[in-house]
Chain A
Amino acid sequence: MTQAINHGVTQRMTYLDALGLAQREELETDPTTIMIGEDITLYAAGGAYGNIDMTRIRSAPISECGFAGMAVGAAITGLRPIVDLTIANFIYLASDPIINQAARLHYMTGGQFQVPVTFRASMWHNQANAAQHSDRPYPMFMNVPGLKIVCPATPSDAKGLLKAAIRDNDPVLVFEDNDLWGMKEEVPLNTDFVVPIGKAKTHRDGSDVTIISVAGCLRRSLRAADELAKDGISADVVDLRTLLPLDNEAILNSLGKTGRIVIVDYAHRTCGAAAEIAAIVAEDGFDLLKKPVRRVVTPDVPIPFAQTMEKQLYPSRDTIAAAARSLM
């Protein structure tokens, strides 16, 4: 699905294995890297962390605020913690140390401390888990200066962005779409392969309409582009990959080619990532627009349990394609 990346030897693997590989490589090459989270030593039994000192793998009690805060304390005193928050909704319990401490300590201490901590959260939408297990919390954290936020949509980006997050000297939130876990592609094995934070990626060149995709919307966006092509509509598909900072240049460059823009995001409508992108377009790309901005997002309702209610809520190939057609 993605274009081959020239980073030497590759191996076909899943998104989930790519995340595990990134983590294992960083743990093996940097003795200051540690992991903390719930149930994580269980996975270590399967070799997920390689041949490392298990004092660096902390299977924590169910105390998200506590261990997230501890990770911040460890980060400012010489370690490089990776915090696995598992279900993304649990990040709310850890939001105080993430927002009030991690995001601000470098600034508030006048640069005395760096905060190289990574928070991982997996998003489990569209799987009948109801509203307390189906959130996409990234828009709320986009409003927090000092954080960086990535949301890989492919196995290679999962590896490269997680490694970039771990190596970064600022707090980075990594939001992972659970429905991508089984997705396979060739992933670079080079241990220094990283995907730069803050850079979007164009997955398909087009000239009629821009589709800006957020996180796991990429596959549906590309399928929508295939549908549009049948009608002779050429879509330019851009995966943002990083939400903080946003790659404004990539958004506006694509808009410059097409003059039409559809923003696709599984998060809710109000103040979502798509809203911010729409605002950037309105402020800085208004003259490029041939038609109004369109958002294809999730309505402002809590995610219901029953699939008959849930499935309709999310952007789909058809709703994305319909939004694009409406701009022609």
Chain B
Amino acid sequence: MLQNDIGGEAYFRMQKIRCFEEAITKLITAGEVAGACHSSIGQEAAIVGACMALNIDDYISGTHRSHGHPIGKGAVLNPLMAEILAKSTGVCKGRGGSMHLTDKSVGSIGESAIVGGGIPLATGAALSAQVRGSGQVALTFFGDGASNEGVFHESINMAAIWKLPVIFFCENNGYAAVTPAVSTHGQPDIARRADGYGIPGVIVDGQDFEAVYDATCEAVARARRGEGPTLIEAKTYRFDEHCVGLFIKGGYRSQDEMDFYMNERDPLVLYRAALLAGGMTDAALDAITAQAGALVDEAVQFAKDSPEPEPEEAFELVHANPVPIRR
């Protein structure tokens, strides 16, 4: 059983993700968010279980379903919400948006809307840590869909031969957009692909925070010892559609399946029960939930009150060493 302080913090981060995504969903419904948004609701234990095993200066990379990753890593919410609302106070100054919530201050090096795109970035960050002797590790979040990209295999292979301190963390939510993973994988367990590269492959229940946390801690320890990468597959489930407000709904997964996960396998419900069993009180957990909600409310207000970028800002930050921009 985890220490209450770690458990409390983990529950806090999971609640922040849940509240954040619920707030975003409301804003989308109200027509206050432009562009695509992908919700992490249902996947909070996988995200936070992985992130809690990392130090603040360890690296993470992620996906188009990007909101949960920096929140799980401990990011301040205001700049994240402002980014999604396309404000100049956004973490990426309004140049990234929902699919790209990259927050360097917590080691987040890129949330990529190119499926699989974040995998070599984190592998390269691990190479960087190894060359610099910094002791840092990198963890890359990706989905079941990305595990069929060639760059997944290329990156794992190089990480294996060079013993890079990287954790390949698959959030297998069962569907690549609306295509079932069972129809796109030769066998159902992505973690077994680790065998092909001579590295450990671990399957965990992605709805169980402690299982994810324990497996990731072991992988992180192995990476820091210089023993190389681990592939972790967290079997999880996405409660919302692929994209919030997607016109095409359902048809690719059964109501029974959705009901089962939402009613029986909600990671927040499960973890709350575990924390109560471990001695935390309802009052303490309610206070954490309220605090998460208050922070999200504050972030929404901050974002709404923030100015939009000036049109001219589109021409700034194209280069780090600027050269003339042709218009």
- Report the separation of the CA atoms of residues A101 and B95 in the bound assembly, to the nearest whole angstrom: 14
Known: A63-B154, A73-B61. A109 touches B124 (CB 8 A): no
Residues of chain B within 8 A of A114, CB atoms compared: 320
Contact partner of A77 (CB less than 8 A), chosen from B90, B95, B109, is: B109
A164 to B129, CA, bound (A): 25
Question: In residues 128-145 of chain B, which contact A (Cβ within 8 Å)?
Answer: 128-132, 138
Interface residues of B in 78-129 (CB under 8 A from A): 90-96, 100, 102-104, 109-110, 112, 114, 117, 119-129
Write out the residue numbers on chain B whose beta carbons fall within 8 Å of the beta carbon of A70: 120-121, 123-124, 127, 155, 158
Q: Is A112 an interface residue (CB 8 A)?
A: yes
- Bound CA–CA A197/B129 (angstroms): 30
Specify which chain A residues have a CB less than 8 angstroms from the CB of B157 in the assembled complex: 61, 63, 66
Residues in chain B near residue A74, CB distance under 8 A:
124-125, 127-128, 131
A109 CB contacts on chain B under 8 angstroms: 92, 95-96, 100, 102, 104, 110
Whether, in the assembled complex, A296 has its beta carbon less than 8 Å from a beta carbon of chain B, the answer is: no
Per the CB 8 Å criterion, the residue count for chain A at the interface is 49
Neighbour of B95 across the interface among A65, A108, A170, CB < 8 A: A108
Known: A72-B121, A170-B319. A110 touches B95 (CB 8 A): yes
Whether A101 contacts B317 by the Cβ 8 Å rule is no
Q: A61-B161, A113-B104 are in contact. Are A101 and B117 (CB under 8 A)?
A: yes
Contact of A106 with B317 in the complex, beta carbons under 8 Å: yes
CB distance from B308 to the nearest CB of A (A): 14
Q: Are A73 and B320 in contact (CB under 8 A)?
A: no
Quick one: CB contact mask for A94-130 with B, threshold 8 Å, 1 for yes? 0011001100011111111111100000000000000
A277 to chain B, nearest CB (A): 12
A47 within 8 A of B: no
| Given known A108-B92, A146-B318, contact A34–B131 (CB-CB < 8 A) | yes
Q: Does A302 sit within 8 A of B, measured CB to CB?
A: no
How close is A262's CB to chain B, nearest CB, in angstroms?
A: 23
- B183 is an interface residue with CB less than 8 A from chain A: no
Q: A269 contacts the other chain (Cβ, under 8 Å)?
A: no
- Determine how close the nearest CB of chain A comes to the CB of B247; give it in whole angstroms: 26
- Distance in angstroms from B86 CB to nearest chain A CB is 12
Closest A residue to B126 by CB, please name it: A73
The CA of A145 and the CA of B322, in the complex, are separated in Å by: 12
What residues on B are CB-neighbors of A81 within 8 Å? 124
**Most chain B CB within a 10 A radius of its CB, from A55, A107, A109, A113:** A109
- Whole-angstrom distance between the alpha carbons of A96 and B318 in the complex? 18
Quick check: is A198 within 8 A (CB to CB) of the other chain? yes
- Size bracket, chain B contacts: 35 or more
A145 to B103, CA, bound (A): 23
Kindly identify, within residues 133 to 150 of chain A, every residue whose CB is under 8 Å from any CB belonging to chain B: 145-146, 148
Task: Tell which of B100, B120, B130 touches A55, judged by Cβ atoms closer than 8 Å.
Answer: B130
Q: Which of B304-327 contact A (CB under 8 A)?
A: 317-321, 323-326
A40–chain B nearest beta-carbon distance, Å: 14
Give residues 193-221 of A contacting B (CB, 8 Å).
Answer: 197-198
Across the interface, which residues of B come within 8 angstroms of A55, CB to CB?
130-131
CA of A169 to CA of B317 in the docked complex: distance in angstroms?
12
**Nearest CB to that of A106 among chain B residues?**
B320
Check B260 for interface membership: any CB of A closer than 8 A: no
Q: Contacts A100-B114, A148-B323, A170-B321 given: A111-B93 contact, CB under 8 Å?
A: yes
B80 shortest CB reach to chain A, Å: 12
Chosen A-B contacts, 9 in total, with CB atoms closer than 8 Å, are A34-B131, A67-B158, A69-B120, A70-B123, A72-B120, A75-B124, A97-B120, A106-B319, A110-B92
Besides A73-B128, A79-B128, 8 other A-B contacts (C-beta < 8 A): A56-B131, A63-B157, A69-B119, A73-B138, A79-B131, A106-B320, A109-B102, A145-B325
Measured CB to CB, the residues of B under 8 A from A are 59, 61, 90-96, 100, 102-104, 109-110, 112, 114, 117, 119-132, 138, 150-151, 154-155, 157-158, 161-162, 317-321, 323-326
